Amino acid sequence: MTHSTLIDQLSAFMNERIPFQKYLGIKVTKFDGQESEVRFQWKDELVGNAPMQILHGGATATALDTAGGVVIMASVIERMEKNLSAEEIVERMARCGTIDLRVDYVRPGRGNEFITTATIIRSGSRVAVARMEMHNEDGMLIAFGTGTYIVG
Amino acid sequence: MTHSTLIDQLSAFMNERIPFQKYLGIKVTKFDGQESEVRFQWKDELVGNAPMQILHGGATATALDTAGGVVIMASVIERMEKNLSAEEIVERMARCGTIDLRVDYVRPGRGNEFITTATIIRSGSRVAVARMEMHNEDGMLIAFGTGTYIVG
Amino acid sequence: MTHSTLIDQLSAFMNERIPFQKYLGIKVTKFDGQESEVRFQWKDELVGNAPMQILHGGATATALDTAGGVVIMASVIERMEKNLSAEEIVERMARCGTIDLRVDYVRPGRGNEFITTATIIRSGSRVAVARMEMHNEDGMLIAFGTGTYIVG
Amino acid sequence: MTHSTLIDQLSAFMNERIPFQKYLGIKVTKFDGQESEVRFQWKDELVGNAPMQILHGGATATALDTAGGVVIMASVIERMEKNLSAEEIVERMARCGTIDLRVDYVRPGRGNEFITTATIIRSGSRVAVARMEMHNEDGMLIAFGTGTYIVG
Which residues in C112-148 are b (16+ Cβ under 10 Å) and which e?
A: eebbbbbebbbbeeebbbbbbbbbbeeeeebbbbbbb
> What pLDDT sits at residue A65?
97
Give the number of other Cβ atoms within 10 Å of residue D12's Cβ: 11
Cβ contacts (< 8 Å) between A102 and chain C: which residues? 102, 146
CB B98 within 8 A of CB B50: no
pLDDT at residue C5 tops 80: no
DSSP 8-class letter at A46: G
pLDDT for the residue D23? 96
**Residue B144 to chain A, least CA–CA distance (Å):** 10
- Least CB–CB distance from D146: residue in B104, B122, B148: B104
Contacting residues of D for B119, CB less than 8 Å apart: none
- Nearest-CB residue to A127 (from D122, D127, D146): D127
Q: What is the pLDDT along chain B (152 residues), one digit of tens a residue?
A: 566 676 677 777 777 778 999 999 999 998 999 999 999 999 999 999 887 899 999 999 999 999 999 999 989 988 887 778 877 877 788 788 999 999 999 999 999 999 999 999 999 889 999 999 999 999 999 999 999 999 97
Rounded CA separation D114/B55 (Å)? 39
The one-letter code for the residue type at B152 is G
- The C-alpha atoms of residue C21 and residue B94 are separated, in whole angstroms, by 40
Q: What integer pLDDT is reported at residue B13 of this predicted model? A: 74
Q: How many folded domains does chain B comprise? A: 1
Cβ-based neighbours of B90, under 8 Å, separated by 6 or more: A51
Which pLDDT does position C149 carry in this prediction? 97
Average pLDDT of span A126-138 = 97
Q: Which of B50, B61, B94 faces A58 most closely, judged by CB atoms?
A: B61
Q: How confident is residue C39, by pLDDT bands cut at 50, 70 and 90?
A: very high
Question: Quick check: helix, strand or coil at residue D86?
Answer: helix
Interface of A with B (CB under 8 A): 17-21, 23-24, 44-52, 56-59, 61-63, 65-66, 90, 94, 97-105, 108
User: Across B136-145, C89-98, D71-80, which has the greatest mean pLDDT?
Assistant: B136-145
pLDDT computed for residue D3 by the predictor: 62
Strand partners, B133: B117, B144
Contact in structure between A104 and C100 (CB atoms under 8 Å): no
Which residues, other chains included, contact A88 with Cβ-Cβ below 8 Å and sequence gap of 6+?
A: none
What range defines the domain where residue A68 resides? 3-150
- Give the model's pLDDT for residue B145: 98
Q: Which of A151, A22, A32 is nearest to A92 (CA)?
A: A151
Provide mean pLDDT across the span A114-135. 96
Indicate yes or no: CB of A146 within 8 angstroms of CB of C102. yes
Judging contacts by C-beta atoms under 8 Å, the chain D residues touching residue B148 are 104
Query: How would you write D7-44 as a 3-class SS string?
Result: HHHHHHHHHHHCHHHHHHCCEEEEECCCEEEEEEECCH
Average pLDDT of span D112-140: 96
Mutation pick from B13, B15, B87, B98 vs chain A, by most beta carbons of A within 10 Å, is B98
Going by pLDDT thresholds of 50, 70 and 90, the confidence category of residue C79 is confident
> CA D80, CA D95: separation in Å to the nearest integer?
14
Determine contact, residues A33/A25, Cβ cutoff 8 Å: no
In angstroms, what CA-CA distances link D67 with A72, A84, B76, D116? 30, 42, 34, 6
- Asked whether the beta carbons of A69 and A98 are under 8 A apart, the reply is yes
Do B94 and B115 touch, CB atoms closer than 8 A? no
Q: Do A100 and D126 touch (CB under 8 A)?
A: no
Q: Is D151 helix (H, G, I), strand (E, B) or coil?
A: coil
* DSSP assignment string, C89-151: HHHHHHT-EEEEEEEEE-S---SSEEEEEEEEEEE-SSEEEEEEEEEETT--EEEEEEEEEE-
Closest residue in D to C22 (Cα–Cα): D45
Which of D100, D127, D133, D146 to probe by mutation at the B interface, max B CB count within 10 Å? D146
Shortest Cα distance from C80 to chain D (angstroms)?
21
B13-22, B74-83, C45-54, D105-114: range with highest mean pLDDT? D105-114
- Chain C CB contacts of B148 under 8 Å are 99-100, 148
pTM: 0.93
Find the closest chain C residue to D150 by CA distance: C105
Task: Name the residue facing A126 among D102, D127, D146 (closest C-beta).
Answer: D127
Q: Please name the member of C102, C106, C148 whose beta carbon is closest to the beta carbon of A122.
A: C106
- Check CB contact under 8 Å for A146 and C106: no
CATH number assigned to the domain comprising residue D117: 3.10.129.10
CA distance D52 to chain B (A): 19
Interface test with C, best of D24, D53, D101, D144 (most C CBs within 10 A): D101
Does the beta-carbon distance from A144 to C122 stay under 8 Å?
A: no
Q: What is the pLDDT of residues D3-42, one digit of tens each?
A: 667 667 777 777 777 899 999 999 999 899 999 999 999 9
Question: What chain B residue is nearest to C147 in terms of C-alpha separation?
Answer: B100
CB A96 within 8 A of CB A73: yes
CB contact under 8 A, C129 and A146: no
Contact D102 B144 (CB under 8 A): no
Span C54-82, average pLDDT: 92
Q: Which residues of D touch C (CB under 8 A)?
A: 17-21, 23-24, 44-52, 55-59, 61-63, 65-66, 90, 94, 97-105, 108
pLDDT band at C3 (very low <50, low <70, confident <90, very high): low
**How far is CA A28 from each of CA A36, B43, C7, rounded to the nearest angstrom?**
8, 23, 45
Cβ-based burial of C26 (10 A; exposed 0-12, middle 13-18, buried ≥19): buried
Q: Give the nearest partner residue to A94 out of B47, B52, B65, using CB atoms.
A: B52
Are residues A6 and A51 in contact, defined by beta-carbon separation less than 8 angstroms?
no
- pLDDT value of residue A3: 62
ipTM confidence score: 0.93
- CA–CA separation, B136 and D76 (whole Å): 28
D93: helix, strand or coil: helix
The chain C residue lying nearest D51, using CA atoms, is: C94
Residues of chain B positioned with their CB less than 8 A from the CB of C129: 99-100
Residue C34, min C-alpha distance to chain D (Å):
22
**Mean pLDDT for chain A?**
90
Helix (H) or strand (E) holding A35: strand A35-41
From A83-92, B70-79, D53-62, the region with the lowest mean pLDDT: A83-92
* Residue-level length of chain A: 152
Share of chain C above pLDDT 90, in %: 64
